[in-house]
A = this chain, B = another copy of it.
Amino acid sequence: MTAPQVNAHEGLPDDRDNVRLWLRLLTCTRIIEKSVKRGFADEYNSTLPRFDVMAALERRPEGMTMGQLSKALLVSNGNVTGVVQVLVRDRYVSLTPSPTDGRSSVARLTRLGRDHFAVLAEAHRNWVETMLAGLGREDRSQLYQSLGVLKDLLADNGETE
């Protein structure tokens, strides 16, 4: 939500300032995220968190517990549980008791869920491609590499824990 702060300083770019770098990162993410959220809401009556949970489950056919989903998606257990409940209600996800831990449940995409996710993923790809189509090949490559450096740094810092 701090987006415009960056704009306010447009005349005074300062590439030594980590806070400005963070605000610029946040601004770009929020602009794209807002557009994707609106697309899911308007065209599919869905949400980004539901898409994220389905995307995680799509990659793990053996299923994931709430704890695994929470860790993978960097959100709280409570938030994940609420999202999964909606997906179960819509028959996109099934829940079965964990064979190794009777207190936890394993979430899996149903056949209906896999089909639905394929449709959402295609729409998501189209929105992102449209938004980023104007990036030149070198700019895209450079940004991808630079974000890789940042991601590795954050991982080394243990910020994902």
User: A residues engaging B (CB < 8 A)?
Assistant: 1-6, 8, 13, 15-16, 18-22, 24-35, 48-49, 51-53, 55-56, 59, 72-75, 124-125, 128-129, 131-135, 137, 139-151, 153-154, 156-157, 159-160
Cβ contact within 8 Å between A147 and B21: yes
Cβ contact within 8 Å between B48 and A140: no
Chain A interface helix/strand/loop/mixed = helix
- For A142, what are the chain B residues with a Cβ–Cβ distance below 8 Å? 142, 146
- For A15, what are the chain B residues with a Cβ–Cβ distance below 8 Å? 140-141, 144-145
- For A132, what are the chain B residues with a Cβ–Cβ distance below 8 Å? 18, 21-22, 150, 153
Q: Kindly report which residue of chain B lies nearest to residue A5, judged by CB atoms.
A: B55
Cβ contact within 8 Å between B1 and A151: no
Partner of A52, one of B2, B16, B141, B156: B2
Cβ contact within 8 Å between B125 and A153: no
In the complex, A72→B40 CA distance in Å? 22
Cβ contact within 8 Å between A28 and B147: yes
Q: Write the nearest CB–CB distance from A25 to chain B, whole angstroms.
A: 6
